[in-house]
């Protein structure tokens, strides 16, 4: 086959085209960067009695991302909000400016230009130089005063069993600082503890009963709740990452309790099964709200 030869003019044109495409790619990236601080209010409680002012010691939950969506740090996942004095330079300027006037319980999305973040030097290896930063934030407390649980009430009122939802969450102090993902994890952990308690109760009944029919029903329930002890941790792991998988694993626990109950003419664990089913429906509804 004859070799195709390119003229110097064709080569020059190709180089110019590549340079033009490269320039367009750089330009496209830059259009996603911001030059000034942008503040978006995502949630604001009805009452705003406590606000963050310069000099206040505040606690903030945050999730930090680059413009391509890469998460470089998150206190939500750790369950440990950061505490600092607002406006004192302990954090980047974008935070000192972007959190002013924020209500306890409020959520804001901050888009922070490099000049108010880590500048041209960045913060290697996670934050490159000149990077625009995006933070999802929630103000947890100001001078030691936490939120009144607006997130819990707002989340629970959308479920089928709001009172059960609220009482379950408020029994855990972590609910005061949790986001919606954190709230559903709390409920799932309660479900896990309940399922384990039911399994222990069933095993105790198995040791005591001599009734062959009852023993058979209890054996099936023990096997079912053994499966639930695997399903619930799977749901916890997938909250915020894979909502369909989290929802499916959670609803599987409803089927466990329902099938267990159906094994008996007169169940010795009806109340326990009913509670698990109600908690399951609450958890599934909250997971579905995450999208």
Would residue 264 show up in a list of annotated catalytic residues for this protein?
A: no
Tell how many helices (H) and how many strands (E) occur in the chain: 9, 7
Catalytic residue among 39, 43, 67, 72: 72
DSSP letter at 127 equals: B
3-state SS class at 136: strand
Catalytic residue among 73, 255, 258, 274: 73
User: Which structure tokens are listed for 226?
Assistant: 């053994």
Q: Are 224 and 260 in contact (CB under 8 A)?
A: yes
Distance of CA 69 to the CA centre of its chain: 15
Catalytic residue among 76, 135, 225, 254: 135
- Rounded CA-CA distance 67/45 in Å is 28
Catalytic residue among 58, 92, 112, 187: 92
Q: How far is CA 291 from CA 118, 286, 288, in A?
A: 32, 9, 6
Catalytic residue among 62, 76, 225, 254: 62
Would residue 92 show up in a list of annotated catalytic residues for this protein?
A: yes
Would residue 118 show up in a list of annotated catalytic residues for this protein?
A: yes
- Rounded CA-CA distance 249/269 in Å is 22
Would residue 254 show up in a list of annotated catalytic residues for this protein?
A: no
Residue positions annotated with a catalytic role: 62, 72-73, 92, 118, 135
């Amino acid at each position: 086959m004859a070799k195709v030869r390119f003229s110097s003019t064709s080569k020059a044109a190709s180089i110019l085209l590549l340079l033009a495409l490269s320039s367009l790619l750089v330009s496209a990236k830059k259009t996603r960067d911001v030059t000034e601080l942008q503040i978006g209010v995502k949630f604001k409680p009805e009452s705003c009695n406590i606000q963050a002012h310069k000099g206040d010691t505040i606690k903030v939950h945050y999730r930090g991302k680059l413009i391509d969506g890469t998460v470089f740090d998150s206190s939500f996942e750790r369950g440990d909000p950061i505490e600092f004095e607002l406006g004192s330079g302990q954090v980047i300027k974008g935070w000192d400016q972007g959190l002013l006037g924020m209500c306890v319980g409020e959520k804001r999305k901050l888009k922070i230009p490099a000049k108010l973040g880590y500048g041209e030097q960045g913060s290697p290896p996670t934050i490159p130089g000149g990077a625009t930063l995006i933070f999802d934030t929630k103000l947890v407390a100001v001078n030691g005063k936490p939120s009144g649980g607006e997130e819990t009430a707002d989340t629970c009122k959308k479920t089928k069993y709001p009172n059960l939802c609220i009482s379950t969450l408020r029994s855990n102090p972590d609910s005061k600082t949790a986001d919606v993902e954190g709230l559903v994890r709390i409920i799932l952990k309660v479900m896990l503890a309940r399922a384990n308690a039911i399994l222990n109760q069933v095993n105790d009944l198995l040791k005591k009963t001599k009734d062959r029919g009852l023993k058979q029903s209890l054996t099936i329930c023990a096997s079912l709740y053994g499966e639930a002890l695997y399903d619930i941790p799977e749901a916890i792991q997938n909250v915020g990452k894979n909502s369909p998988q989290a929802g499916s694993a959670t609803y599987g626990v409803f089927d466990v309790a329902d099938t267990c109950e159906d094994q008996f003419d007169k169940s010795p664990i009806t109340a326990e099964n009913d509670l698990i089913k109600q908690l399951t429906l609450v958890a599934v509804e909250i997971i579905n709200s995450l999208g």
